[in-house]
Amino acid sequence: MIPARNAAATVERAITSVTKALPRDGRVLVVDDASEDDTAAVVHRVARRDRRVGLLDVGGRRLGVTGAANALLDAAKTPLVARMDADDVSLPWRFRSQLSLMRRHDLDLVFSPALFVGPGRFAVEPQPLLRADPRSLTYELLLNCAVMQPSLTGRRSAILDAGGYRTVPAEDWDLWMRLALNGTRMGRTSLPGVAYRRHDAQTSSQQSYKQAVTADAPTAQVHRDLCRSTFGREYRAYAALTGAGAPPDEVADAERLIDDVAERAADFPLAERISIRSTAHGLRLRLRRRYPPD
């Protein structure tokens, strides 16, 4: 499933990277989210060469991030689905490694680390190549959006059972936490699965987006629910973890949550332990920069 808006320059490479990595019975479905360029024409050209590629017709309507994601989910109809962005690249071994992990550990959803590419022609930075199991990933999700949406592969039914995507700023993190609350078994491979292109125009790099994430009450409530489900108590920590301007009691709750998550890391094997503790350490440093002690 590939949502695309004004992606004429990159969508062909994104599609072909998926078709080369997919199992033989896989297919690619793209939704053109009211592009103002030749995105649809490029997808049609690729589809003429490869019958596995299709363009979802939504009548030229502007769906937005959440609407496009849910439209793709509704149209997919297959037991397994995967996500990609129209300017990213699936690495050749992505689905082989993800499906293998799903089978070995009876998982519902699998993610992979990403190779960040850009900004700049030669800038490449890998995410930590550390696996996560369903329990350890839940702890990481209490601190940040620990997995990349364009690397998702898994059971369509699990996403639908959790209610699909909601119209909130951090629609991916919101969904992952609701999936964890729903008992969905999620994991992360230790191999990178996608090359993720970073550029200055990305929504996630805009200050207005960051402010909207911090002020997002529905996702903050899901975060409190997941804290209560995991630790037996609420932490009012979401605003402090995601941005500036949180009151002192919420900053203190965020510090307690980070410490409690780091302490639980001792219960896990080495790779998961390192991943949880490195996530906690990074968040602790960020929180102290954002809210320096008096």
Split at pLDDT 50, 70, 90, the class of 201 is low
Question: What is the domain extent for residue 44?
Answer: 1-87
What order of strands is seen across the sheet that includes strand 124-126? 89-90, 194-197, 114-117, 124-126
Beta carbons of 132 and 275 less than 8 angstroms apart: yes
More confident residue, 210 or 223: 223
CA distances from 191 to 15, 113, 127, 147, 287 (A): 21, 6, 10, 13, 29
Amino acid at residue number 92? P
Beta carbons of 243 and 196 less than 8 angstroms apart: no
Domain count, the chain: 2
Split at pLDDT 50, 70, 90, the class of 21 is very high
138 occurs within a structural domain: no
Least confident of 91-95, 118-122, 236-240: 118-122
Last residue of a domain, one of 37, 69, 87: 87
pLDDT at 206 over 80: no
Query: Which residues are CB-contacts of 258 (< 8 A; sequence separation ≥ 6)?
Result: 143, 280, 283, 284, 287
Last residue of a domain, one of 64, 87, 110: 87
> Could you report the per-residue pLDDT of 22-79, keeping only the tens digit for each?
988 999 999 999 999 999 999 999 999 999 999 999 988 999 999 999 999 999 999 9
Supply the pLDDT for residue 31.
97
pLDDT at 202 over 80: no
Supply the pLDDT for residue 198.
80
From 125, 157, 156, 151, select the one nearest 137 (Cα to Cα): 151
10 occurs within a structural domain: yes
Supply the pLDDT for residue 127.
82
Beta carbons of 189 and 101 less than 8 angstroms apart: yes
117 occurs within a structural domain: no
